[in-house]
Structure 1
Amino acid sequence: EKQLRRGVHRSTRELEHAIYRYIDHNNREPKPFVWSKTADEILATIGRFCERTSNSGH
């Protein structure tokens, strides 16, 4: 995952191949997703975002 975000891809094709390698690797060695925040923390973050965007003046 870090390689996709931080990697240097000189072309779209190179990026595409990196994405396919990432998917293939994760399909061969799957790991369950683990939530790092509680539902209350997520809802609080969404609430703050909605307040900022609804009062943006646009």
Structure 2
Amino acid sequence: MSKPVNLNRVRKDRAREAARRRADANAAKHGRTKAERAADAAGKAAEDARHEGHRREE
């Protein structure tokens, strides 16, 4: 004999899985990790500092 199935749990599990798939798709489409954002910010700061270093004094 099989075990009884809690239909509420099944429904919630399906909803959770759908939300997880949607979140993964959004992350792949739009998201960058915190490390990637920090690396880009550090690179931009270094580039700006290098650029400002070539500025003429008047």
Task: Name the TM tier (shorter chain).
Answer: 0.3 to 0.5
Give me the TM-score of the superposition, normalised by structure 1. Answer: 0.36
Give me the TM-score of the superposition, normalised by structure 2. Answer: 0.36
Which structure is higher in helix share? 2
